[in-house]
A and B are shown apart, each in its own frame.
Chain A
Amino acid sequence: MFKRTRDVEVLKEIARQVRIDLLKALHHAKSGHTGGSLSSVEILVALYFAELRHDPKNPRWENRDRFVLSKGHGVPALYAVLAHAGYFPREELLTLRKPGSRLQGHPEYDLSIGIEATTGSLGHGLSAANGMALAAKLDKKDIRVYVLLSDGELQEGATWEAIMTASYRKLDNLCAIVDRNRFQNDGAMADIKDIEPLPDKWRAFGWEVEVLSDGHDFAGLLSAFDRARVTKGKPFVIIANTIKGKGISIFENQGKYHGVAPTDEELKLALRELGENI
């Protein structure tokens, strides 16, 4: 039986293994989004190993909490987390981006592997999460819905439609997390179309906002989720300041690793940094 933990050291070790697995999968696939997968690792590990009420052996459990990866391109990290949690064998991670694989380049709705919604086109996930949260309220069910957005995705107008819907509908069973790694496909967001002041924007749209200066710190993530859970009458957003490419020195804050997989050499170096013997 899958058990959640709040032990930070245990979570850190899971995060280390998840990084190793997602990098191996990306390297094997020879393509995919390295930077934005690495920046989301602690958020996803905190969700799946500490926060969400879910059962990897019963992925269709009706009363499970829901998670939508609105930043679908970061799915290698989610696949690695789901595999570690026991949704499917870790070996399957090497089928990433292959024809017929359950682990497609962007997530496709498939409860057998714990994927709750099809995403990848930005600006969809928050609306879908809102629908789930509204349905839970309609059914008077104690289901919480979590959604992870990219910061680049906040340039999509449709995201703001959904942000308005959530606050207007007082979706206090909804928690959004922004993976604020400050890079998008073309480079640094500040050089392309800056989205600051971000906390003010969410507040102005009626959300309760918590800014985490370090979105890789488990203690901070867990306490933010605790606050989100007890906040009533409005939806909750955690703006998690993260580092694109986190954990691997050559990838950190390098915009060019947004959409490329590690080479043989880069993988070797990365695994060494993660303490993995090859």
Chain B
Amino acid sequence: MSKSKLSDVVVDEIREHIYIREVYGKTLVELGREYPELVVLDADLTVSTKTSLFGKEFPERFFTMGVSEQDMMATAAGFALSGKIPFASTFAVFATGRAWEHIRQSIAFPKLNVKIVATHAGVTVGEDGATHQALEDIALMRVLPNMTVIVPADAVETEKVIRTIVKHQGPTYVRLARAKFPTIFKKNYEFEIGKAKVLREGKHVAIFAIGIMVYEALEASKILEKEGISAFVVNVSTIKPIDVETIVECARIAGAVVTAEDHNIIGGLGGAVAEVLSEHYPTPMRRIGMRDRFGTSGDGLQLLEYFGLKARNIVQAVHELLEFNSAKKSVSFK
């Protein structure tokens, strides 16, 4: 039985589940004290996105834009052109879908320092259903030149991400979700833009994950370990610029890759990793995620089950992949 090494930034057991959007709101308040040039805009979802916390503390720097996402993005551009650091928040489906062309022309192209922090991405939105579950936001943002795209995996990383992007110059998209996320990181976890974090060293397969699926990937690696399969677990929280070096290195060692995301596998993490590997180190892979379909109403976390986005689905993909590889290369993993 191979023994995989768990990074010391990962907690031994899950002790808490936290709304990462609440961490966003609280961190904004703290940053508001440090950065007088920080302004916050929101499109009528201030309580859900938690920007309302900033609004209570700094009403003069808080701009409710009403249900006007396009106006919000281009207004944020105007703030950035005047030296402010605007954070613009709403649900991911509206931020990236409704206002995409405003983001393209008025933010990404002129490289303006606008922070788009969208909440309620993915199927974990739950009962509101498919209209409100952004499953294409990563694709829409990462196709834009100059845009940095970040997906935090838990509360600890969310705080580090928000504290990092405020200092980072340029257009940035951060993808947050509605549901409570298990806290998987210890306080000593460090986030760096463009660096994927290897949370578990492995040999036989590399699992690349984002958001809540990082937790599922860690769970999958425990199951796999009992079966004698040693899996890398890598948190690819910066989808763009993507960490080519880490992805290729893990793929090279493992020779098999699984991606896991709460997003369409087209254009999301799965697409991004496939692009990297097919150019740099072609590796057999499987993609866990939404298989080119819309979501549905239901309990947010149960929808992960419903759509096959759980640890056991990752495990199953790993099995398929290793069988495929062993049939191909006659290599046994047991």
Could you tell me which A residues sit within 8 Å of B by CB distance? 66, 108-109, 116-121, 123-125, 127-136, 138-139, 157-158, 161-162, 164-165, 168-169
Q: 9 A–B contact pairs at CB < 8 A?
A: A109-B112, A127-B70, A128-B74, A132-B81, A134-B79, A135-B82, A161-B71, A165-B71, A165-B75
Besides A130-B75, A161-B66, 14 more A-B contacts (Cβ < 8 Å) are: A116-B81, A118-B106, A123-B70, A124-B74, A127-B75, A128-B81, A132-B82, A134-B63, A134-B75, A135-B79, A158-B68, A164-B68, A164-B71, A169-B63
* Residues of chain A contacted by B84 (CB below 8 angstroms): 135, 138
B95 on the interface (CB 8 Å rule)? no
Nearest-Cβ distance from residue A255 to partner chain B, whole angstroms: 25
CB-CB nearest in chain A for B99:
A158
Nearest-Cβ distance from residue A254 to partner chain B, whole angstroms: 29
Nearest-Cβ distance from residue B75 to partner chain A, whole angstroms: 4
B241 on the interface (CB 8 Å rule)? no
A131 touches B65 (CB 8 A): no
The 6 lowest CB-CB distance pairs between A and B, nearest first, are: A131-B78, A127-B74, A135-B82, A161-B71, A161-B68, A109-B110
* Residues of chain B contacted by A165 (CB below 8 angstroms): 65-66, 68, 71, 75
Question: Restricting to B72-92, which residues have a CB under 8 Å from any CB of A?
Answer: 72-84, 86
* Residues of chain A contacted by B82 (CB below 8 angstroms): 66, 131-132, 135-136, 139
CB-CB nearest in chain A for B79:
A131
Nearest-Cβ distance from residue B149 to partner chain A, whole angstroms: 21
* Residues of chain B contacted by A125 (CB below 8 angstroms): 74
* Residues of chain B contacted by A66 (CB below 8 angstroms): 81-82
State in angstroms the CA–CA spacing of A158 and B101 once bound together. 11
CB-CB nearest in chain B for A139:
B82
Type the 1/0 row for B98-133, where 1 means its CB is closer than 8 Å to any CB of A.
000110011001101000000000000000000000
* Residues of chain B contacted by A127 (CB below 8 angstroms): 70-75, 77-78, 102, 106
**Interface SS of chain B:** helix
* Residues of chain B contacted by A118 (CB below 8 angstroms): 105-106, 109-110
Could you tell me which B residues sit within 8 Å of A by CB distance? 39, 60-61, 63, 65-66, 68, 70-84, 86, 101-102, 105-106, 109-110, 112
Nearest-Cβ distance from residue A224 to partner chain B, whole angstroms: 23
Task: From A116, A130, A139, A158, give the contact of B102 (CB < 8 A).
Answer: A158
CB-CB nearest in chain B for A131:
B78
Nearest-Cβ distance from residue B169 to partner chain A, whole angstroms: 15
CB-CB nearest in chain A for B68:
A161
* Residues of chain B contacted by A123 (CB below 8 angstroms): 70
A128 touches B106 (CB 8 A): yes
* Residues of chain B contacted by A124 (CB below 8 angstroms): 74, 77, 102, 105-106
CB-CB nearest in chain B for A116:
B81
A135 and B83 in contact, given A117-B106, A120-B105, A161-B68 (Cβ under 8 angstroms):
yes
State in angstroms the CA–CA spacing of A130 and B65 once bound together. 11
Nearest-Cβ distance from residue A118 to partner chain B, whole angstroms: 4
A162 touches B71 (CB 8 A): yes
A129 touches B105 (CB 8 A): no
* Residues of chain B contacted by A132 (CB below 8 angstroms): 78-79, 81-82
A117 touches B39 (CB 8 A): no
Nearest-Cβ distance from residue A67 to partner chain B, whole angstroms: 12
Residue of A127, A162, A168 with highest tally of chain B CB at under 10 A: A127
A158 touches B71 (CB 8 A): yes
* Residues of chain A contacted by B61 (CB below 8 angstroms): 138
B81 touches A138 (CB 8 A): no
Task: From B63, B78, B86, give the contact of A129 (CB < 8 A).
Answer: B78
B74 touches A158 (CB 8 A): yes
State in angstroms the CA–CA spacing of A139 and B110 once bound together. 23
A117 and B110 in contact, given A138-B60, A158-B74, A162-B75 (Cβ under 8 angstroms):
yes
* Residues of chain A contacted by B63 (CB below 8 angstroms): 134, 169
Nearest-Cβ distance from residue A163 to partner chain B, whole angstroms: 9
A158 touches B70 (CB 8 A): yes
State in angstroms the CA–CA spacing of A133 and B81 once bound together. 11
